[in-house]
Amino acid sequence: MSGVTDSLVGAWVKGKDTSPAFENYEIIQELPQGGQAIVYKAIHKPTKTHVAMKILLPTLVASTRARYYFEREAELIAGLDHPNIVKIRDSGIIHGQYFFVMEYIKGQPLYRYVEAQNLSFRERIILFKKICEAVTYAHQQGIIHRDLKSGNILIDERGEPHILDFGLAKAIGMSELERKDAMPTITGQWSGSLSNMSPEQAAAKPELIDVRSDVYALGMMLYHILTGQDPYDVTGPVLEVLKNIQGAEPVRPGKIIRKFDTDIEAIVLTAIDKDRARRYQSVAGLQSDIENWLAGRPISVRSISTLYLIRKVIARHRYVAAVVGLLLVIILSFSFIALDLYLTARAAQRDAEAISKQWTEKAVQLEKEQRKTLSIVAPLHFTNILELLRKGRIAEAEKSSRIFAKDSREFIATIFLISPQPLKDKEAEFRRRIGEEQVRFAEFVIGEHYLKDRNKEQALNAYRNSFKALQKIRGENKPAETWLANIVQARLYELTTADEKTGLFSAGEPNE
């Protein structure tokens, strides 16, 4: 088969059609390729539009793992619909050769574009915000990119970014073993490019990789487009680079560029914090602070002191601030108009009180937005807790659960699973606290309890009950319910036989 595919690819490069399956495409040129695929620029003859055709390397066709991730990349891109994420148009197999066709983006990689266009500081921040919006959308659809870097973000002629290459992406809440013949993404390997790799990726700890790994990669991008360099050395021997990623402290941007904006510096350093718990807990949180900075509002990672608020107000209302300054000069120079200036000062005080009230309301709004973000992150965090419990790391699981509110279902479930009491002594109280409207979640947790006790039959019954309850709410597109549907099916897939799997999933998934 390798000989066939080698000759097929070679013929395409020369512009020949070797099969009717490709008669609608004319290959123009080879584009820069990754480690596992060749990418060609081509013309779709019926519409006379340019496309990009990605073809799995012939030497990797025999690899089950390579084929799986190539097919999965096409599936993940097909499920995304965002103007700043590349779209897929076609896919298939010809003569054993795997391929898919995407829209062609005529543009430059992020770093090259920023330098070539000589963008201002603010223009670079605005461009970065658009990238954050696209990644936030992908996360809301349950997809972590895991390989965000300059080469995977092309900026077109209109200045719009496009995210490419989802070859290392992962669906949130799902095991890497999504298919029977699939291979793990990383087992003692590194996934992602070294330049923007997060510490947890550098440490080869796949169980720690989540949306915060994409936050880290985005922080590295922002650092580079604003300073022109990386926060620590990412060149040289691989082991030395991996060591730097995990332990080297980043150089503060203010030491590279004089008078570097302190708010942006705080945003960047929070995004690339080595400790995941101290980073932004989602790209949405990072995006929110970028938007706050662009609008002249306080950011969440700076303590809101009186002096800080005054500085933000002055920066946002420069004209008013200049007028007040002029009035102060008049007070010192012309004391005979003291009364008039006194009345002006009283008016300014009322304005300051109104502004203070406004920022208080903004702080309340920010807190609400953080709670909304937690509702998206909570399922992923609870998945990590379940993994800790299955490994017997009770203390770590209990510590991790403190991120949840004490009345949340995830916190109640964690305490229930940690409790050493027999199931019959604690099940009724657990179900009462969870509530009847959460019976699908309660049944799943009961299944986890049985699975922890190695009671496969009872665990299967509980998972099936949860599956039936989920089918009754088909159509809901809430992140928490999508996560629950995915993990319940994953558990059933692990515990059932091949014949049972056919019967179980033939009717469709509960959340399509």
Q: Which residues are catalytic?
A: 147
Per this entry, what is the length of the chain? 512
Residue 144's DSSP bridge partners are 170
> Measuring CA to CA, which residue among 80, 85, 50, 52 is closest to residue 160?
85
Assigned token pair, 345: 């000062």
Q: How far separated are the first and last CA of the chain, in Å rounded?
A: 37
213, 144 Cβ separation under 8 angstroms: yes
Element (H, E) at 94: strand 88-94
Show Cβ contacts of residue 496 under 8 Å, excluding neighbours closer than 6 positions: 460, 504
CA-to-CA dists, residue 459 to 411, 425, 444, angstroms: 21, 18, 9
User: Checking phi first, is residue 197 left (phi over 0); if not, alpha (psi -120 to 50) or beta?
Assistant: beta
Tokens 């995407």 correspond to: 102
Q: How many CB atoms lie within 10 A of CB 291?
A: 15
Q: How far apart are CA 103 and CA 156, in angstroms?
A: 12
Residue 154's DSSP bridge partners are 109, 162
Q: Could you give phi then psi for residue 74, rounded to 5 degrees?
A: -65, -40
22, 94 Cβ separation under 8 angstroms: yes
